[in-house]
């Protein structure tokens, strides 16, 4: 190594969010998390990702837990460590766009209840869909990190990524994350990308990838050597496969180098020992499918995320058309092109995949379309890097005039309406946000909560913070 200047690598631990979301369908409970928090707090992580993504929905729907209560309990336990969440821009943690007042209020309440770093992304990398969340995080003195969904295609050049980095810095973000949700970023491409970003911006660069395609550890090694500041890892019992590289392995890799993390392997081993029985139990019950722990090379061949591939297999099996698998994979590439070549990440991956299945099964392209396909082609999700296929757009939306402005500009304020609708069940300020995101699931949970007589403790509920707009 030429440069011997010390630059200790920082680590974001994902075991309390993305790791169990990726491997065991987000089923880790708060009670399983709390006993190890004190030890995790001693590690010296850059941050612990513990909220957002699918955890909010899964807590309510499957675990009958209040996600806000989880956040407060974790905040109480992590005295020295920053807490981080994943936030889907104008979609918040749901699948539709929300009005600005709802986005602002959600950011405010997330920070008031204990979040330090908000990682904000958009499935099209349409920065207009991130503006409101970034401004709200800045206002609340939170750390606003913008995550760029990494993907491949002739438009996604180094100049594209550099241009995005410049705009992100201008927007007022505190750091940039390269979010490689499908494990498509190859080691030497990572070197090029990180070096290009480092030349362009002074913002810290964080790397996030999944082991799905088998290259993630090598990609991290080359990224760090090229100047990346932080990497996302998962404790070994819930690492690899569709999760992140193992924390202990990456710590050992950089030991004795200028990037030495300084983290204590003995402490990490104790934490791993805590989670191991949980992993063994998940394997025994079938919650953790051994298949997701392997390498899926089709990810690199077809540039399709692992979760999308498994979705595809089950859709075709249901339609008794498993023999059409490779035909559908080819059609996914064509549909993605028709849709302006967006990254394939929630929800665009599901929409493109489902439409490709329909096109193949119907024997005619776009003979039958989903309502989400109509939304994309009418501009309701925002702007893609390339224009939509005009012929396909015409066939799908007819004479409807597509939206070209920021989609949320057309959404009237919704917060007061949601407050009225949920008033009879509301026990804390945050309940309106739970209801806004998942109305049916929230009402079911609120009824369950009442039946259990588990009233929210007003001493810990955030009733002081004023609501937007001020």
Q: What is the pLDDT of residues 259-300, one digit of tens each?
A: 999 999 999 999 999 999 999 999 999 999 898 898 888 888
CA distance 149 to 431: 30
Provide the pLDDT for residue 401. 95
| Both structure tokens of 419 | 């407050």
Q: What pLDDT does residue 457 have? A: 60
Contact 130, 99 (CB under 8 A): no
pLDDT reported for residue 458 = 54
Count CB-CB contacts under 10 A for residue 49: 28
| % helix, strand, coil for the chain, step of 5 | 50, 10, 40
- Residue 460 is predicted with a pLDDT of 56
The class that CATH gives domain 304-404 is mainly alpha
Tell me the pTM.
0.93
Identify the architecture of domain 10-290 in CATH: Alpha-Beta Barrel (3.20)
Could you list the beta-strand ranges (E) of 224-277. Answer: 230-233
What pLDDT is stored for residue 426 in this prediction? 96
Alpha helices, DSSP H, located in 201-234: 216-225
pLDDT given for residue 299 in this prediction:
86
Q: What is the pLDDT of residue 468?
A: 27
pLDDT tens digits, the chain, 470 residues: what are they?
Answer: 455 789 999 999 999 999 999 999 999 999 999 999 999 999 999 999 999 999 999 999 999 999 999 999 999 999 999 999 999 999 999 888 999 999 999 999 999 999 999 999 999 999 999 999 999 999 999 999 999 999 999 999 999 999 999 999 999 999 999 999 999 999 999 999 999 999 999 999 999 999 999 999 999 999 999 999 999 999 999 999 999 999 999 999 999 999 999 999 999 999 999 999 999 999 999 999 898 898 888 888 887 877 777 778 888 988 999 999 999 999 999 999 999 999 998 889 889 999 999 999 999 999 999 999 999 999 999 999 999 999 999 999 999 999 999 999 999 999 999 999 999 999 999 999 999 999 999 999 999 999 986 555 655 555 454 332 22
* CA-closest candidate to residue 99, choices 132, 72, 77, 51: 132
Please name which of 418, 381, 457 lies closest in space to residue 124, comparing C-alpha atoms: 381
d(CA 355, CA 341): 14
Strands in 150-280 per DSSP E: 175-180, 205-209, 230-233
| pLDDT value for 312 | 83
> CA 345 to CA 448: how far, in whole Å?
33
Establish whether the linkage from the previous residue to 408 is cis, with ω within 30° of 0.
no
**Closest CA relative to residue 205, chosen from 87, 40, 46:** 46
Q: 230 has which bridge partners?
A: 10, 206
Nearest residue to 326 via CA among 335, 308, 313: 313
Report d(CA 302, CA 289) in Å as an integer.
22
Q: Assess contact for 259 and 7: CB atoms under 8 A.
A: yes
- Residue ranges, comma separated, of all CATH 3.20.20.70 domains in the chain are 10-290
Cβ-contact 255, 31 below 8 angstroms: no
Rounded CA-CA distance 319/311 in Å is 13
User: 391-394, long-range: CB within 8 Å, 24+ apart, which pairs?
Assistant: 392/338, 392/365, 392/366
In the chain, CATH 1.10.472.90 sits at 304-404
Which pLDDT does position 3 carry in this prediction? 53
């Amino acid at each position: 190594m030429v440069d011997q200047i010390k630059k200790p690598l920082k680590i974001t631990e994902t075991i309390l969010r993305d790791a169990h979301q990726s491997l065991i369908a987000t089923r880790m409970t708060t009670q399983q998390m709390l006993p190890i928090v004190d030890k995790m707090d001693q590690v010296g992580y850059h941050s612990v990702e513990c909220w957002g993504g699918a955890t909010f929905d899964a807590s309510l729907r499957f675990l009958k837990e209040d996600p806000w209560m989880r956040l407060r309990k974790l905040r109480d336990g992590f005295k020295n460590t920053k807490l981080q969440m994943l936030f889907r821009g104008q979609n918040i943690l749901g699948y539709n766009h929300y009005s600005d007042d709802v986005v602002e209020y959600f950011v405010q309440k997330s920070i008031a209840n204990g979040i330090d770093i908000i990682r904000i992304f958009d499935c099209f990398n349409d920065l207009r869909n991130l503006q409101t969340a970034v401004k709200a995080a800045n206002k609340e003195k939170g750390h606003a990190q913008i995550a760029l969904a990494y993907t491949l295609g002739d438009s996604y050049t180094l100049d594209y990524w550099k241009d995005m980095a410049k705009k992100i810095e201008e927007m007022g973000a505190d750091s940039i994350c390269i979010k490689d949700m499908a494990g498509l970023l190859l080691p030497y491409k990572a070197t090029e990308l990180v070096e290009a970003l480092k030349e362009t911006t002074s913002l810290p660069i964080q790397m996030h990838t999944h082991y799905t395609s088998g290259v993630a550890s090598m990609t991290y090694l080359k990224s760090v050597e090229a100047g990346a500041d932080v990497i996302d890892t998962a404790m070994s019992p819930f690492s690899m496969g569709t999760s992140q590289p193992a924390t202990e392995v990456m710590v050992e890799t950089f030991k004795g180098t200028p990037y030495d993390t300084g983290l204590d392997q003995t402490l990490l081993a104790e934490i791993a020992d805590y989670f191991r029985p949980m992993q063994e139990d998940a394997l025994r019950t079938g919650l953790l499918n051994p298949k997701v722990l392997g390498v899926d090379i089709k990810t690199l061949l077809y540039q399709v995320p692992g979760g999308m591939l498994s979705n595809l297999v089950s859709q075709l099996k249901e339609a008794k058309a498993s023999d059409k698998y490779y035909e559908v994979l080819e059609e996914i590439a064509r549909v993605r092109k028709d849709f302006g070549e967006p990254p394939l990440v929630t929800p665009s991956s599901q929409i493109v995949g489902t439409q490709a299945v329909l096109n193949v099964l119907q024997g005619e392209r776009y003979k039958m379309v989903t309502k989400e396909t109509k939304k994309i082609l009418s501009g309701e999700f925002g702007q893609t890097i390339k224009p939509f296929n005009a012929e396909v757009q015409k066939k799908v939306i007819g004479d409807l005039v597509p939206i070209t402005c920021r989609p949320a500009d057309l959404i009237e304020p919704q917060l007061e309406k949601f407050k009225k609708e949920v008033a009879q069940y509301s026990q804390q300020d945050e309940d309106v946000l739970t209801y806004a995101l998942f109305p049916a699931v929230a009402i079911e949970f609120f009824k369950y909560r009442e039946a259990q007589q588990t009233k929210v403790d007003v001493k810990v509920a955030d009733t002081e913070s004023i609501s937007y707009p001020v």
